[in-house]
Amino acid sequence: MRPIEKSARLQSLPRYLFAELERKRHEAESAGREVFDLSIGDPDLPTPDFILDKIAEYGRDPRNHRYPTSAGNREARARIAAWFAERFQVSLDPVREMAMLLGSKEGIGHLPLAILNPGDEALVPDPGYPVYAAGTAFAGASPVRFPLRETTGFVPDPPDLDKLVTPRTRLLFVNYPNNPTGATAPRAFYEELVAWAVRRDLIIVSDAAYSELYYSEAPQSILSIPGARDRSIEFHSFSKTFNMTGWRIGFAAGAPALIEALVQFKANVDSGAPQAIQLAAAEGLKSLPVHGPALRGVYRERRDLVLDTLRALGCPIRTPGGAFYLWGRAPEKETSMEFVTRVFEKTGVLLTPGTGFGAEGEGYFRIALTSSADSLRRALQKLETLTPWKAPHASPSPIIR
C-alpha cells in the first residue's frame, strides 16, 4: 500500500498552535505536575439553566430528532432576527439573510470555500484568529496578512490596507471585539472601512463572536453601517455569550448572495445544527438583558485582578475593551515562545505565545480569562515567584483603556 499522506493544502498550514499547547499540557499532567492553563478561551462557567432546560424540552419533541436544514430552523432564525433588530437596530430577513451554523468557526472556515477561487486573495488580520487564513488556504486562495499594531489600538487604517490590495483581492476579515488583543473598534472605523470596501469593491467578513463580551460600549454590527449590507457577512456565536462552546451553535447574517453560497456549500458537507440546540439558544437571547451584565461582571472582575498583578510585576499590558483575553508584552530579549516555554517550565502556568496568531504577535503573550478568580489568583502567585519582568516598564498607550 502506498503511504497515506496529508494533502498538500493541509501540509501547507502551520500546525494548529492550540493542539501543540494541549500536548505540552498533557505531558506535564501525566508527569504529575500541577498545570494552570490560561491558554485556551473556553469558558469555565456552565451553560445557564434557562438554556439547558429548553434544550431538554425541545429535545423531547420528535420533530427535532430529524435532519435539520442546512440554513437552520426557521423559528430559531426568526427569534434571532427579533433580537438582532433590538440589539443592533438591523432588521434582517431570517430566510434570505441568515443561516445557522455549527459554531461560528464552522461558517468562518467554510465561507472561503463557498466564494473564493484558486488565485484569489483574502486580507487577514495579523495577529488574528487562525481560521481566517486556514479557510482561505483550503480554498486554494492566498491569505495576505495585514498588521494590527498597538500604536493604532490594534485597528487597521484603511489607507494602509490599500498597499496590500491587488486585482485578485476579494475580501477582508475583521474581528472586534478582537481575539487575541481584546481591542474593540468604534463605529467610525466601520464607517471608514465600509467606504473603503465600496471603493475597492471588496467583501467584508466581520467576526462578531465576542459581540456580547464588552467592558464599556456595546459593539455595533457592521450590517448597521450604510453601504455594508450587500457586501458583508457577520459571524455570531452563542459559545461565549452563553458558555456554550461544547454545544456548537452560531449563526451568520448578511448579504443574501453570501448566505446563499455558504448554505449551498454546507448542504454538501454537513446537515445542519441540532434543532433543539438552535431553538434553545435562540430563545435564550431573551434572557440577555439579565444574563449579559452578570457575565460581563465576572470577566471584568477577572480582568482587573490579572491586570493589577501583571502591572505590579512590570508587565506592559493594555486594558482590553472586550472579549475575554489580555494581550501583554513578553519581557524584552525573549521571544514569545521562549517566554511562554520558560514560564510553563518554571511555574506550570500555560500562556499562549503571541506568534500563535501570526508574525505580528511576536513579543506578546495572551491570557484567557476563562478560569475562576481563585485559579487565576493561584496562577498569578506562581508568576510572582518568577518575577519575569525585571524593571517596571513605562505605562502602555491609553488607546483602549
Ligand X SMILES: Cc1ncc(COP(=O)(O)O)c(C=O)c1O
Q: Which residues bind ligand X (CB under 6 A)?
A: 41, 103-105, 129, 175, 179, 207, 209, 237, 239, 245, 250
The least distance separating ligand X from the CB of residue 145, rounded to whole angstroms, comes to: 16
Nearer to ligand X, 221 or 237 (CB): 237
**C-alpha distances out from residue 383 to 315, 363, 372, Å:** 11, 18, 17
C-alpha to C-alpha distance for 34 and 184, rounded to whole angstroms: 34
The least distance separating ligand X from the CB of residue 153, rounded to whole angstroms, comes to: 17
The least distance separating ligand X from the CB of residue 352, rounded to whole angstroms, comes to: 11
Looking only at the bridges linking them, the beta strands covering 250-254 and 232-237 are: antiparallel
User: What angle separates helix 275-284 from helix 74-88, to the nearest 10 degrees?
Assistant: 20
The least distance separating ligand X from the CB of residue 293, rounded to whole angstroms, comes to: 22
- Cα dihedral 225, 230, 233, 238 in deg (nearest 10): 70
The least distance separating ligand X from the CB of residue 129, rounded to whole angstroms, comes to: 4
The least distance separating ligand X from the CB of residue 265, rounded to whole angstroms, comes to: 17
Nearer to ligand X, 129 or 299 (CB): 129
Nearer to ligand X, 252 or 313 (CB): 252
Nearer to ligand X, 88 or 247 (CB): 247
Nearer to ligand X, 41 or 328 (CB): 41
Nearer to ligand X, 92 or 174 (CB): 174
The least distance separating ligand X from the CB of residue 234, rounded to whole angstroms, comes to: 11
The least distance separating ligand X from the CB of residue 150, rounded to whole angstroms, comes to: 18
The letter for the amino acid at 375 is S
Which residues have C-beta within 8 Å of that of residue 395, sequence separation ≥ 6?
316
Nearer to ligand X, 48 or 103 (CB): 103
Nearer to ligand X, 220 or 245 (CB): 245
